[in-house]
Structure 1
Amino acid sequence: MSQPTTPAAGRSLVCTGLGFTWPDGTPVLDDFHLTVGPGRTGLIGLNGSGKSTLLKLIAGELTPTAGSIKVTGDIGYLPQHAPLDTHLRVDQALGIAHIRAALHAIENGDAAEEHFTTLGDDWDVEERARATLDQLGLTGIDLDRTVGDVSGGESVLLRLAALLLRRPDVLLLDEPTNNLDRPARQRLHAAVAGWHGILVVVSHDRELLQLVDRIADLRNGEIHWYGGNFSAYEDALAIEQEAAERTVRAAEADVQRQKRELADAHVKLARRVRYGNKMYATKREPKIVMNARKREAQVSAGKHRNLHTERLKEARERLDQATEAVRDDDEIRIDLPHTAVPPGRTVLTLQALRTRHGTHAELEVRGPERIALTGRNGSGKTTLLRTLAGDLPPRNGTAHTHVPHRYLPQRLDILDDTRTVVENVARFAPDATNNRIRARLARFLFTGARADQPAGTLSGGERFRASLAALMLAEPAPQLLMLDEPTNNLDMASVRRLVTALESYEGALLVVSHDLPFLKELGITRWLALHDGELTDTEPQ
C-alpha cells in the first residue's frame, strides 16, 4: 500500500464556520465545524444530510458560501459517480502515462532534460503501478490496455489505484463499495485497513465501517462523534437512545405534574377570590383595609399563577429538548396480503435459457422463495434480471414468469422525474383512487407535501422509497419482485426501512446484492451463483 509522504502528526483537515447553499436557495450546511486528524473516519448520516456535498467541498469541487476549509497536504477524492473515459489507456487512467513516456524515452537513449524533470525520482513507476493493481485484484490488466475493456467494478478499483499511486495525505471516499462484487469489496476493505493517513469514507457498507477508528454522524447539520468502529457506534447509540427515552419519560411526567400544580393553583386562587368577595359583601372590616387586602391578594395571585405557568413552560421546553435527542428514523410499515404466493405454486421457469450475455440457465422457482443471486462483477446478473423482466429478449430458450412481477433496476429509472410521487404511483395502479394511493403512500413515509414532490427533486433514499412504493403498490400486486443492488446509495436508516418493507412482502423475491449483512437480514432461503456463464445453486453465504 502506497502511503502518504507527509508525517502523520502534521496532517489535518479543519472546516470552520462552513456554509453551503445550492443555487436554488436550498441550504445544506450552516456554520458547520469539523476537525479530522490522522486515522480512518466513517462519515454516516441520513440521505440528504449533506455527506457527499461535504466531501465535494473539501475536495474543492464545490465552493463554500461561507467559512473556510484548511487541509494540510494533498487530497485524493473518489466520488460516487465518476465514469472513466472508455477510450483512455489504463496508464492514463492511473495518471502515470506522461511519467511512463519519459521513462521509456530515457530507456531508448533520449537524454532530454524534460524527460528527467518529468520522471523525477519515480524510476519504479511501472513496478509500483503493477503492485498496486495486483493488490486490488487487477492482476490481469495491462497498463497499455484501454479502460473500455474493464467492468464497472474494475473501473472503481482503477480510480482507487490512481489515488493510491499519488499517495495523497488526505483520502476521501464516497460510497466506494457500490457495485463491487464480494472479492472486490474485500480488496477495497484491505486497502482501507492498511491506510495510515487521514481517511474519510462515506459508506453504508457495515463491513467497511467495521474497519474505521471513529464514526462521525452528520445529523441536523452537526457532527456527533463516536469512538471505535460501527459496532461500537451502535452500542453507544443504543445506550444514548435508552437514556434519551428515559429523559423523555421523566420530562413528560414533569409536564403532567406542572399541569396539575397549575390547575391546583387556579382552584386555590378561585377560593381566595370567593372568600374575599364574601368578606367585602358582608363589610366585616373597614373598606380601606379590605381594599388593601384585595390588592395584596391580586398581586400574590398573579405571582403565584405566573410562577406555575413559567414552570410549566420550562417543563415543556425540557420535554421538547429531550424529544429531539430521541432519533425518529421512521420505518416503512405496510400490509401486502395480495402479494402472497402459495408454497406449491410455480412462479418462474427457465428452460434452456441463454441470455445476450451468454449465461445459460435452467431454473424453476416455486412458492414464496427468497433467492439471492450472486456472482462477480460482469458475470451477467443484471442481464439475467432484465431478461426475466422482459426488458431483453433471450438469445435462446425461454424465461416464463407465471405470476405478476416487477423489476427494480439499479438506476431507479422507473420514475418520471416531471411527475409527483403520487402521479408516479398512479401510473402503476391506474384504477386506484387518489385517496387510496395517498393512504398507502403514507406507509412509505410520503405524507402531505412530500407526496406531491416531483420525482426529480427527491434524494437518493427518497427516490428508492418512491420506486419501491410504485412497484409494491402496483395493480395487480406483484408476486415476484426482482431487485438489482437495492442498497446502493442508501443510508443505514433506509436499509432498515427496506428490510422492514420486504418483511411484509409475501411473494417470491429475487435479489442481486453484494451486501451480505443485508441478504442475511432478508431471510434468504436459496442462494444462486453465476459463474463462467452457468447459473447454479450454491451454499448459503
Structure 2
Amino acid sequence: MSFPSAVVLHDLSFHWPDGTPVLTHVSGAFSAGRTGLVGANGAGKSTLLRLIAGDLQPTDGTLTTTGTVAVLRQDVTRAGGTLADLLGIAEVRAALGAVESGSVDPTHFDVIGDAWDIEERAAADLAALGLPTDLDRAVRTLSGGEAMLAAIVGVRLRGADITLLDEPTNNLDLPTRRRLYELIDSWCGTLIVVSHDLELLNRLDATAELRAAELTVFGGPYDDYRAWLVTRQEAAARALRAAEQVLRREKRERIKVEERIAHSQRQGRRDRENRKYVAAVVDDRRNSAEKSQGSRRTAAGAKEAAAREAVAAAELQVRDDDAIRVDLPDPHVPRGRRIAELPSADGRTQRIQGPERIALVGANGVGKTTLVEALLPTLTVRHGYLPQRIVLDETATVLDLVRGSCPRMPPGEVRNRLARLLVRGDMVDRPVGALSGGERFRVALARLLLADPPPELLVLDEPTNDLDIPSVDQLVTALASFRGALLVVSHDLRFLRRLGLDRVLELDGTGTLAEGDVDLPGAGITT
C-alpha cells in the first residue's frame, strides 16, 4: 500500500544557537499513512518532530507539510494544569462558557468553530478508555499512563491532518497499551510515531530510521525492516571484504611497479658507469624510461587510491554501532543480608534479601512509584535511585555532575568510564540542558553505576522509557555486571525477561503485594 507524501524534507539541517549540529543535510519524505520513526538516542528524532510541528525552524534546507499538524511531546506527562489543558480544549471550553453566559464577542465564536460539542466528545472518548472524565481535574492527580492516554485523546479530538506522537507508550501498563494500540489501528490521516515499543512499531504501515544524517524509509513494519536491514548489512559486509581484497591487490601491484622502477633506475646507473653507450643514446633511453616509469607509477597510484575510496565508501554502508562496556565494582552484598522491606496492605512484608533481582509490576495508578518513594527514606543500605522523571541540574556539565557521585576519582578516569557508557567526546563537557532524553538517561545511569562507594541496591523506575531499542540492549548489558540488589519498576516485559529476575512482586489497587510468576505473564505487564 502506498500513500502520497505528507511531509517532505530537502537538504534539511538544524543547529542549536550555540552551533551544535543536530540534523545535517537530511532528505526524505513521510507518506500519508502510519509511520514508526526509529533511531539511536541523540539522532534527532524528537527535534525532527518539533521541526515538523513548526516549534523550531530549519537552519538550512526546506521542510514542507500538507495540512495541519498536532504533536504529542515526550514530556507531556510532566504537564501541569487541568485535564482540559492536557486535552488541548481549555481555550474552547472558556469560549463556550463565555457564550453560554451571554457573550456575543466574535472571537469566542472563532475559537469554538465547529467544536460546540467538544466537552461531550471529550468525556465520551475518555470514558471509552476508562479514564477520568472530570475536565477540571488536576493533571498531577493522574498517573503517568493516564496522562499519556488522555493527551492522545486530545490529539485525536483536535483532528489534525498530521499527528506526531513522541514515545506514546511510556508508562502504560498492558491494558492501557492495548487500548492505545486500538486507537492507532483505527487512526485516520498521517501519523508519525517515535517509539521503541516493538509491538506498536509492528502495527504501523511503514518504518523510517534516522541515522547518520540519513532518513531511510521502508514500506513495512519494524520487524520486516530489521530483516531487510540484516540482508543489506550482510551484502554491505561482503562488499567491504571484496573492496578490501581489491585494495590489497592494488597495493601489491603498486609495490611491484615501484620495485621494477627502482630496478630499472639501478640498471640505468650501471649502464652510465660502464659507458656501454654514447652519452646521447644513454640520455635518450633514460628520458624514455623515466616517462614510462612515471606513467606506470601514476597508473598504479591511481588504482590504489580508487581502491581506498571504494573501501571507505563500503565502510560507510556497514554499521558499527557501539555497545556499553562497563566493569562495575562489587558492593559485596552477602546472600543473607536484609536489604529492604516493602509493606503490603494485607499486613505481610515483602523482603529484599542479598543481591536479589526483583521486578515490581502492576496496573497504572496502583501506586508503584509511591511505594518506591516511601521506601527510599527507610533504607539503611547504600542505594541509588533512578526515578521515572529524571531531574538533573540543567546548567552543570556532564563531567561535573557525574564527578559529584565519585569525587575521589580523577577526572581522566571518570572520562574513561563514561566512555564505556557511551558518554564521550564533547558530550562530557556539554551542559545537561543540551542533551537528548536518551543522553540524559545515560548520564543519570552513570551517576548510579560509577558511584564511589558503589550502591548495594539499585532502584530503577521505568528505566526504558527514553531509550531506543539498541540502548535497552546496552542497559541490560550494564546491569548484567551489577552484583548488588536490584528493584525495577517496569511495564516492559521484554526488558524484564532479560534481567534474570529472582522474583516478581505485583501490586494491586488495594496496596497488596503478592508474589507473581517470574516468567511475567501478569496482566500488569506489556507483552
TM-score, normalization: structure 2? 0.88
Q: 1:469 aligns with which of 446, 466, 470?
A: 446
Superposition deviation, residue 273 in structure 1: 0.9
One-letter identity of the residue aligned with 2:340: T
After TM superposition, list the pairs within 5 Å mapping 1:409-424 onto structure 2: 409-413=387-391, 415-424=392-401
Decide whether aligned partners of structure 1 residues 530 and 252 sit closer, same or farther in structure 2, where only a CA change above 3 A counts.
same
Is 1:284 the equivalent of 2:276?
Answer: yes
- How many Å apart are 1:444 and its aligned residue? 1.7
Aligned to 2:336: 345
Out of 13, 18, 21, which is 1:27 matched to?
21
One-letter amino acid matched to 2:170: N
In structure 1, the residue matched to 2:45 is 51
- Measured in 2, the distance between the counterparts of 1:320 and 1:252 equals 9
1:133 aligned to which of 119, 126, 139: 126
Residue 41 of structure 1 aligns with which residue?
35
Select the residue among 320, 325, 343 that pairs with 2:312: 320
Query: Is 1:387 matched up with 2:380?
Result: no
1:534 and 2:512 are equivalent in the alignment: yes
Contact 2:46 / 2:166 at 8 angstroms: preserved in 1? yes
Map 1:15-414; keep pairs closer than 5 Å. Answer: 15-82=9-76, 83-87=78-82, 89=84, 93-94=88-89, 97=93, 101=97, 125-138=118-131, 140-143=132-135, 145-147=137-139, 149-336=141-328, 338-339=330-331, 341-342=333-334, 344-350=335-341, 353=343, 362-390=349-377, 399-401=378-380, 403-413=381-391
Q: Cα distance 1:128–1:67, how it changes in 2: closer, same or farther (>3 A)?
A: same
Amino acid at match of 2:216: H
Alignment CA distance shift 1:446-1:20 (3 Å): closer
Contact kept in structure 1, 2:13 and 2:58, CA below 8 Å: yes
Q: Which amino acid aligns with 2:434?
A: T
User: C-alpha separation between the residues in 2 aligned to 1:448 and 1:441?
Assistant: 10
Superimposed CA distance per residue, residues 369-416 of structure 1 (whole angstroms, 9 cap, x where no aligned partner): 2211112333222222223332xxxxxxxx445x53211223333x54
Give yes or no for the alignment of 1:14 onto 2:8: yes
CA gap 1:359/1:274 in 2 versus in 1, 3 angstroms: farther
Once the 2 structures are TM-superposed, how far is the Cα of residue 199 of structure 1 from its aligned partner?
0.6
Once the two structures are superposed, residues 336-379 of structure 1 have per-residue CA deviations (whole angstroms, 9 ceiling, x without a partner) of 3514544x32342317x47xxx8976111233322111123332
Contact (CA 8 Å) 1:90, 1:145: kept in 2 or not?
A: no
Deviation of 1:89 after TM superposition, in Å, equals: 4.6
**Deviations along 1:45-90, whole A, 9 cap, x unmatched?**
1222221111112112122233433322222211112444424657
Cα gap change, 1:416 to 1:77, in 2 (>3 Å): closer
Distance, in Å, in 2 between the alignment partners of 1:230 and 1:380 is 33
Give the Cα separation in 2 of the matches to 1:341 and 1:182.
34
Gaps of 5+ in 1: 1-7, 391-398
C-alpha displacement at 1:452, in angstroms? 3.7
How many Å separate the matches in 2 of 1:116 and 1:434? 62
Contact 1:91 1:144 in 2 (8 A): no
Q: Give aligned pairs, total.
A: 514
> How far off its partner does 1:331 sit?
0.6
**Aligned residue identity for 1:328:** D
Name the counterpart of 2:473: 496
SS at match of 1:428: coil
* Cα deviations by residue, 1:264-307 (Å, 9 ceiling, x for unpaired): 22111111111111122112222212111111111111111122
Question: What's the C-alpha RMSD, in Å, of the aligned pairs?
Answer: 3.1
Aligned mates of 2:298, 2:204 — CA distance in 1? 53
Q: Which shows bigger deviation, 128-137 or 280-289?
A: 128-137
SS of the counterpart of 1:80? coil
Partner Cα distance (1:427, 1:27) in 2: 28
1:449-480 deviations in whole A, cap 9, x for unaligned? 44444444333222222222221122222232
Deviates more, 1:317-326 or 1:114-123: 114-123
State the alpha-carbon separation in 2 of the partners of residues 186 and 156 from structure 1.
13
Cα distance, 1:100–1:151 mapped onto 2, change above 3 Å? farther
Which deviates more from structure 2 when the two are superposed, residues 333-342 or residues 37-46? 333-342
Residue matched to 1:440: 417
Deviation at 1:91, TM superposition (A): 9.7
Partners of 1:9 and 1:311 in 2: how far apart? 45
Q: List structure 1 segments (4+ residues) > 6 angstroms apart after TM superposition.
A: 8-11, 102-105, 110-121, 358-361
Does the aligned pair in 1 maintain the 2:5–2:30 contact within 8 Å? no
Bigger mean CA offset, 239-248 vs 84-93: 84-93
Match of 1:12, SS state, is strand
Task: Return the alpha-carbon distance in structure 1 between the equivalents of residues 184 and 451 of structure 2.
Answer: 42
1:308 & 1:84 partners in 2: Cα distance?
Answer: 65
Matched residue SS, 1:307: helix
Give the whole-Å Cα distance in 2 for the aligned partners of 1:455 and 1:525.
35
Distance of 1:245 and 1:406 partners within structure 2: 42
Matched residues in 1 for 2:409 and 2:141: separation? 47
Name the SS for the 2:301 alignment partner. Answer: helix
Q: 1:98 to 1:9 in 2, by over 3 A?
A: farther
Cα displacement (A) at 1:484: 1.3
Partner of 2:524: none
**Aligned residue number for residue 3 of structure 1:** none
Contact 1:98/1:118 (8 A) holds in 2? no
Distance verdict in 2 for CA 1:505–1:72, change over 3 Å: same
Unaligned runs of 5+ in 2: 522-527
> Any conservation in 1 of the 2:93–2:119 contact (CA below 8 Å)?
no
